[in-house]
Structure 1
């Protein structure tokens, strides 16, 4: 029997060092591992290289680490809701590797599956394939670091010759994810859309740390209900009910 539970979020992230790479689940503010993020903030870990769909907002999600200047690099697909993110990127304080959303998801999945790289049509004919996307700016506004060109090959696909760009898989030192339910063996169940990038991030991390709202003994979760097998999870900590913020609320008057 393998009990993967740890007593606190502080203990769960205690060995994450400065400069570590971390895959972080969540989409917008949905499914954020907020308790683990706050534990990293309290611990003082810095120079982190984070792979996540986005970087939260100015005061929530990964945005709290960003505001404290604990992030060195972000690999993301969407960064439009965080003004501090924009400021740090444009002033050269933060390196950003923009990646198409589906490509980012597959890079994480491939990394967790032991696939070194794959070809995709996404990005062909753009700077994604040709290189030159700014990754870091210099203080004077010039491009200090740009993305390199990627290999492009032609394959016969769907009845025609088509170009595909080679994308390398992503693996990270750690992963932090949020789930609604977990058992002591690390099997996880996500709640609806909070599933998003969480399973993929978990797979990509060499050490995956999961926070769960409810923890149950091994065997209590129906195997058919498991979204992520415990083989991908190394530590699990119960955090109880968590605050769930809405990234942007739009309302209108009734007709």
Structure 2
């Protein structure tokens, strides 16, 4: 597994490199955004997961995240930053980050999160087996029709009236989770546990931000959603056919 560490503080970068080497990863280290993008563009590197600082010299981590998503919508991105404000996290998620951890951080938790992200990145079938539930999971085809949209799970794309939208790893996982649980009322806590499989640093507000982005892709009128419907005080309910 190849991990790209984008961190300008050499002490932190070298510490992360050492620890991920001990875990069996092959680390690539970049001290700035342009170097990170050059590494990612090289097809010989085949990066499996990215750790991204936000406060970088020259090119901000936000801009790097945006560029990463244009290059590869699927590669998992974990932001590792000293920025703790909710608006920082919201902006990172809006630009395509999958997870967000603040510094200082606990190394065991970071290692666990990276394993979780890599394990959830689909290879041939992006199926999702909800955590902690034993019932049979609804199997979905690679291409799923939803209203005027076609969701291509194998390519992480939504096709809608000639336009193509690319989804991140966690966006495709969340959308697939909703579809697999059609008509069920899903609490935010349950979604958090089943899709992200951990609670630290990921709040229920994060789910709302992800839902807003999904609605922009699949709803005819995102302000009046018919597929991913809010259930006041609880969470969300998915309908394939608008009620």
Flag the structure with higher helix content: 2
Same fold at TM > 0.5: no
TM-score normalised according to structure 1 size: 0.27
TM-score normalised according to structure 2 size: 0.28
* Greater gyration radius: 1
